[in-house]
């Protein structure tokens, strides 16, 4: 009977055509039948789809128990449970279609509506608890303003630090850079003197006391024990002579560096050849004259002659006003009659100008420059 009914139905390839491996759907089955008031065929009617192999697939509602007991026999079967009525299935489809259209309208409406709903949702969300707000904002809490005392202490500390840096820079300049510049200047002056002397046709020392202008170099001093070699210039001006690494000759006129205005003798003259030099900074040629002792030698080279002096005595400390130390017969030196003397003066203690340190010597040898260096300079 089932075969006769199947033969009577035309095999259409429409929307509800039987897929390959299944029999044709029975009359009145499908959405069209359901929409026309039809119902699913009763259990046991022919025309239900068949699974591969020719086995008929039972109705979902009539044979749910059989599907659950024999799932391997019907691999294409739907899960067990009653088949939905055609009207209910159509109603569900219309509901789904309406939902999709509504979603489409919302999407087409742009982000404004969605943003408004999201803002509304955020505004409707409950506010965080006070404890949570404190925990979350602990890292961003505003720091309290420092008090006036703290600000003053910070300012004072910064000023002291700045002052300390400036002081260190000044010390470095005085102790290091001024020596470099002064040594370079003094070396240049020594070379200039030696070159000028070697270029002279006749070498002789001028006898006129005013032969040299203030600041002009005219001799070179050697202190072999201290490895000192420096130019000697006319005058004792601090800026133009002493700060340039040169040794100054007390030659007047009166000035802050030579308050007495005393005119001391030249090496080739009878009297006291008085000299001044820095003990610290600016070349410091007399820094270690405190180490000179009786019997040490000091050599003065001029255009024509080497003058060799031997140290006789020292005066460790004396006031700057003690002008008697550089008189023709120096007071306190032990000399009692006119002669050819040398006096070296410098500041003491070191790094101050409170007092003066004095070294005296007596001329013990002269040697023409053309005859070569004296023995006092031959060890080097």
Please identify which of the residues 63, 282, 340, 347 carries the catalytic annotation.
347
What is the C-alpha separation between 325 and 321, in angstroms, rounded?
A: 10
Q: Kindly list the distances between the CA atom of residue 128 and the CA atoms of 124, 141, 297, in Å, as whole numbers in the listed order.
A: 12, 17, 95
Q: Which two tokens stand for residue 105?
A: 């309208």
How far apart are the C-alpha atoms of 161 and 242, rounded to whole Å? 33
**337: exposed, middle or buried (C-beta count within 10 Å: 0-12, 13-18, 19+)?**
exposed
Q: Is 340 a catalytic residue?
A: no
Backbone angles phi, psi at 57, to 5 degrees: -85, 120
Q: Which listed residue (63, 278, 282, 340) is catalytic?
A: 278
How far apart, in Å, are the Cα atoms of 246 and each of 74, 182, 268, 356, 369? Answer: 121, 8, 20, 18, 22
Environment class of 230 (CB within 10 Å of its CB; exposed 0-12, middle 13-18, buried 19+): buried
Return the number of other C-beta atoms located less than 10 Å from residue 47's C-beta: 19
49 within 8 A of 25, measured Cβ to Cβ = yes
Note if 347 is an active site residue. yes
C-alpha 39/C-alpha 27 separation (Å) is: 10
Question: Active-site residues: which are they?
Answer: 278, 347
């Amino acid at each position: 009977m089932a075969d006769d009914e199947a033969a009577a139905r035309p095999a259409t390839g429409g929307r509800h055509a039987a897929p390959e491996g299944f029999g044709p759907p029975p009359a009145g089955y499908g959405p069209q039948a359901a929409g026309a008031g039809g119902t699913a065929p009763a259990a046991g009617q022919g025309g239900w789809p068949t699974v591969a192999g020719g086995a008929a697939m039972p109705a979902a509602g009539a044979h749910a128990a059989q599907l659950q007991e024999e799932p391997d026999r019907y691999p294409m079967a739907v899960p067990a449970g009653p088949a939905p009525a055609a009207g209910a299935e159509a109603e569900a489809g219309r509901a789904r279609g309406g939902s999709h259209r509504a979603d489409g309208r919302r999407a087409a409406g742009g982000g404004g509506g969605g943003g408004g709903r999201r803002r509304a949702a955020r505004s409707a969300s409950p506010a965080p608890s006070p404890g949570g707000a404190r925990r979350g904002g602990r890292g961003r809490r505003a720091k309290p303003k420092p008090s006036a005392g703290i600000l003053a202490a910070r300012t004072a500390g910064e000023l002291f630090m700045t002052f300390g840096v400036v002081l260190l820079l000044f010390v470095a300049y005085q102790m290091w850079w001024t020596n470099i510049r002064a040594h370079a200047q003094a070396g240049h002056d020594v070379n200039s003197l030696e070159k000028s002397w070697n270029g002279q046709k006749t070498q002789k020392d001028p006898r006129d006391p005013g032969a040299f202008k203030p600041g002009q170099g005219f001799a070179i001093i050697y202190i072999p024990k201290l490895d000192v070699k420096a130019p000697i210039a006319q005058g004792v001006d601090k800026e133009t002579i002493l700060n340039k690494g040169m040794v100054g000759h007390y030659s007047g006129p009166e000035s802050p560096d030579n308050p007495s205005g005393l005119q001391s003798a030249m090496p080739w003259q009878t009297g006291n050849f008085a000299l001044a030099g820095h003990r610290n900074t600016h070349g410091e040629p007399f820094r270690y004259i405190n180490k000179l002792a009786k019997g040490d030698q000091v050599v003065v080279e001029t255009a024509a002659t080497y003058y060799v002096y031997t140290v006789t005595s020292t005066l460790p400390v004396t006031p700057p006003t003690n002008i008697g130390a550089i008189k023709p017969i120096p007071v306190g030196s032990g000399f009692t009659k006119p002669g050819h003397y040398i006096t070296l003066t410098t500041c003491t203690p070191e790094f101050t100008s409170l007092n003066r340190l004095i070294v005296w010597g007596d001329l013990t040898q002269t040697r023409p420059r053309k005859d070569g260096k004296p023995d006092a300079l031959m060890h080097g």
